[in-house]
């Protein structure tokens, strides 16, 4: 489950994989990003990606809040 959260944030926002953009292609992507693009397009419904991104954002926010509280103690 955690790998889904990581991939749902890393590839679209860090690498720039845009699997659901209009006229999206894997052109210009490195081999790993190309594999991720293919996986998103063939295996991951757009709504699932959206849900995974929201879940990942909540986890990151909770972790950051926890670190902030710990740092203030």
pLDDT digits (tens, 9 = 90+) for 22-55: 998 999 999 999 999 999 999 999 999 999 999 9
Q: Other C-beta atoms within 10 Å of 22: how many? A: 5
In 1-73, the DSSP E strands lie at none
| Cβ(17)–Cβ(11) below 8 Å | yes
Give the closest residue to 17 by CA, choosing from 44, 57, 56, 51: 44
Which secondary-structure segment (H or E) carries 59? helix 46-72
Percent of the residues in the chain that have a pLDDT greater than 70, as a whole number: 97
Q: What is the pTM of this model?
A: 0.80
């Amino acid at each position: 489950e955690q790998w889904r959260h990581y991939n749902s944030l890393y590839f679209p926002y860090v690498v720039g994989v845009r699997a659901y953009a209009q006229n999206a292609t894997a052109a210009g992507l490195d081999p790993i990003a190309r594999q991720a693009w293919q996986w998103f397009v063939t295996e991951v419904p757009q709504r699932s990606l959206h849900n995974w991104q929201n879940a990942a954002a909540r986890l990151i926010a909770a972790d950051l809040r926890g670190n902030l509280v710990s740092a203030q103690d």
